[in-house]
Amino acid sequence: MKKYFRYIISIIVSINFVVAQVNEGTVEFNMGPHNALQVNLVDVDKKLVEVAWKKYTNQFGKPDKKKGEYITENVVMNGLTNPVDWFMKLDKNKKDILLQLCVISNDEFLSSSSQSSNYRVLEKYIKDFAYVVEKTKVTEEYEAEAKTLEKLQKKLKKLVSDYNSNVKSIEKNNKKINKAEKNKKSNLKEQSAVKGEIAQQGLVVEDIISKSSQAISEGNVSPEYEEANKDLLKLRKKLDKLVKNYDDDVKSVEKSIKKINKAEKDNKSNAKDQSKTKGKLSDQGKVVERLRKTLNSM
């Protein structure tokens, strides 16, 4: 809302600059107090005015700056009856800039009474410059606000991308959970079967031992015992692997659940950010459009 009123004021000011008033009065310059043309530039940065002045007067050559005054000599301008020298200075008054132009024409200081025709030419020149300054100011505001709009658009695009990425992450982790749950269910059945096989194989080993006292003697084992015990060890290793896989699936489920919870939490916050950003985009778009229309009308 603050920006809205600021740009409404800019529009009003730009309209006022079309009929900017140029006054004259005695101004203190480095060479002393002399008559000067004066125009007040509203709510503008001094640096902007300085840059604009250099561009605006570029056709007359680069001005010589001395002690805060821009000096241009031998200015030949359409409408003037003779070449002139001028001294321009800028005084800051809060947010405004007062431009003051002292002109030497035919070896005398220009005034509306001494050389009225030349005065009117330079008066229009200053009025036109006031308009250029305002247009430059609005242009800079437009470019700055357009850049802000672009940043908001990029921010929204990233928010949407992050939101969609979280949705995909949720879907992916849900699939992992489903797969892990199926694996766990199958794993438990297989564990049960292997445990049964281990119990049976254990009985086989015990039976071999009970039937032959020579099955294990002096560190030697019978081939029959060795084979039976080897099968038992394989079954135990298989069970250990099944238990490990089951635990891995349990951890996988827990990890996926954490990722889902985080993604859902992030998306909840993301949705709020998207809503706020869309509101800012709408407001910023209106600001940029108003400035664009203002520029087109200038």
The domain that holds 221 is classified in CATH as 1.10.287.620
Helix (H, G, I), strand (E, B) or coil at 57: coil
Q: How far apart are the first and last CA of the chain?
A: 24
Question: Residue 75 sits in a domain of what CATH number?
Answer: 3.30.310
Q: Show which of 141, 156, 185 is a domain's final residue.
A: 141
What percent of the chain has a predicted confidence (pLDDT) above 70?
90
Instruction: For residues 71 and 169, state if they share a domain.
Output: no
Name, in order, each residue with C-beta under 8 angstroms of 231's C-beta and a sequence gap of 6 or more. 201, 204
Beta strands in the chain (DSSP E): 23-29, 32-41, 64-66, 69-75, 84-93, 96-105, 108-109, 216-217, 220-221
Instruction: For residues 281 and 189, state if they share a domain.
Output: yes
pLDDT score at 214: 53
pLDDT tens by residue, 218-248: 556 678 888 999 999 999 999 999 999 999 9
Q: Which whole number is the average pLDDT over 141-150?
A: 97
Q: How far apart, in whole angstroms, are the C-alpha atoms of residue 163 and residue 174?
A: 17
Select from 5, 91, 59, 62 the least CA-distant residue to 286: 5
Domains in the chain, number: 2
Q: Show which of 108, 141, 174 is a domain's final residue.
A: 141
Of 3 and 124, the one with more pLDDT: 124
Instruction: For residues 52 and 192, state if they share a domain.
Output: no
Instruction: For residues 41 and 181, state if they share a domain.
Output: no
Q: Show which of 141, 165, 195 is a domain's final residue.
A: 141
Instruction: For residues 120 and 194, state if they share a domain.
Output: no
Instruction: For residues 137 and 228, state if they share a domain.
Output: no
pLDDT score at 222: 79
Instruction: For residues 219 and 128, state if they share a domain.
Output: no
Select from 106, 111, 63, 107 the least CA-distant residue to 87: 63
Angular region, 79: left φ>0, alpha ψ -120 to 50, beta rest: left
Which residue segment(s) compose the domain that 75 sits in? 2-141
Residue 254 has pLDDT above 70, yes or no: yes
pLDDT band with cut points at 50, 70 and 90 for residue 17: very low
Instruction: For residues 80 and 174, state if they share a domain.
Output: no
Q: Give yes or no for a contact between 121 and 60, defined as CB atoms under 8 angstroms apart.
A: no
Cα-flanking dihedrals φ and ψ of residue 27, to 5°? -130, 145
Residue 74's Cβ-side half-sphere holds a number of Cα atoms within 13 Å equal to 2
Q: How far apart, in whole angstroms, are the C-alpha atoms of residue 244 and residue 238?
A: 10
Q: Give yes or no for a contact between 225 and 205, defined as CB atoms under 8 angstroms apart.
A: yes
Q: How far apart, in whole angstroms, are the C-alpha atoms of residue 213 and residue 191?
A: 33
pLDDT band with cut points at 50, 70 and 90 for residue 1: very low
Cβ neighbour number for residue 19 with a 10 Å cutoff? 9
Token pair listed for 87: 């001294």
pLDDT score at 217: 55
Instruction: For residues 135 and 151, state if they share a domain.
Output: no
Instruction: For residues 132 and 9, state if they share a domain.
Output: yes
pLDDT tens by residue, 39-56: 999 999 999 999 999 999
Instruction: For residues 283 and 157, state if they share a domain.
Output: yes
Instruction: For residues 13 and 131, state if they share a domain.
Output: yes
Q: How far apart, in whole angstroms, are the C-alpha atoms of residue 162 and residue 262?
A: 13
Q: How far apart, in whole angstroms, are the C-alpha atoms of residue 105 and residue 84?
A: 5
